[in-house]
Chain A
């Protein structure tokens, strides 16, 4: 059972990070974070979103690095957790890309 939980971990990190960044985005727009300037010309909204994105990415990468490399022949029980971690990192990269590319509010 533990391996199944580990297989879900990567995508779980994505789900948590995605919800977190979306919540930060909505809260920031409602509370006027883009108007709050922090050091270095970054506003509070962008800083929060980048922090959320990078933290999620970091969590996913740490998980991925801790997964032993195995081939598909090693059996699903060994292969799936690593695949799950990879999918989590991929999904985090792709779905939160707009943090870097889109107008915030």
Chain B
């Protein structure tokens, strides 16, 4: 997409540079219809199709994927994951299994926030009174950083969280370990 944009920008600049010279006879329709419509419509059509196709692929579906609740509060995040004996809550730290699609169920306590982990792509607002879903998939274990993307007041810049991506087999252990840490930090 960036390459295409660069090519189109260059095209316009070259046409502009070529304009500086003696007057020429110009066929108006070649510019307004030929270039104006002929160039824009195919490019935009392709972009619409591609955007729809990618958009459809990343939609959450009811295929039994792991569901984690994300609750945004001024100015921290609560993550509630289903453990084998009841839900496990972690604060400002999200534990994800690598290589599996996960549906995040996103809600807000007070104002509008937005859940965003830049390296996982996609973002979804947390809006009071609504429940939004976002499907994510982290491919490899590691630690990523997420943050609130919608301006939410004084603590907006520091409303960050860590995403720990672990091997699916270690997921529940990591979850429990973090939950304990979370409580310890709270005290």
Identify the A interface with B (CB < 8 A): 72, 94, 97-98, 101-103
CA distance A102 to B57 in the complex (A): 11
Chain B contact residues: helix, strand, loop or mixed: helix
- Taking CB atoms, residues of chain B closer than 8 Å to A103 are 56, 59
B21 at the interface (CB under 8 A from A): no
B55 at the interface (CB under 8 A from A): yes
Q: Do the beta carbons of B55 and A97 come within 8 Å of each other?
A: no
Task: Produce 1/0 per residue, B54-74, CB < 8 A to A.
Answer: 011001000000000000000
Contacts from B to A (Cβ < 8 Å): 29, 45, 48-49, 52, 55-56, 59
A98: nearest chain-B partner, CB-CB: B52
Q: Are B48 and A102 in contact (CB under 8 A)?
A: no
Which A residue sits closest to B37, measured CB to CB?
A90
A103 to B49, CA, bound (A): 14
Contacts of A97 in B (CB 8 A): 48
B134 to chain A, nearest CB (A): 15
